[in-house]
Amino acid sequence: MARAAQSNKWSLQGMTALVTEDFLYQISTNLESAYHLCQLDHPLLKSSGYGSIVFISSAAGVVSCSVGSIYGATKGAICQLARSLACE
């Protein structure tokens, strides 16, 4: 829990301040978790004939910012994941 509380501190640092562990943590927290939950839910929703998957992203996913490149990249990936899943 302490690490999750610090995630904004890491994500808002510039690219050169992040280490590999910080990068992987952001990818895991912001993208992988949503993707894997959708993998579990998608077949059930599809077979039921209805249902919705709702993602909460950030403006940083659609507009560029001067810091937080990995945060913006993961939030942009969530937006694209939503569009791609809508096609599936």
| Residue closest to 70 by CA, chosen among 5, 2, 10 | 10
Global confidence as pTM: 0.75
What gap in Å lies between CA 83 and CA 61, rounded to an integer? Answer: 13
* Domains recognised in the chain with CATH numbers: 2-87 (3.40.50.720)
- The set of catalytic residues is 71
| pLDDT digit string (tens) for the chain, length 88 residues | 344 444 555 556 778 888 888 889 989 999 999 999 999 998 898 899 888 889 988 888 888 877 788 888 899 999 999 999 888 8
> What residues contact residue 18 under an 8 Å CB cut-off, 6+ apart?
10, 70
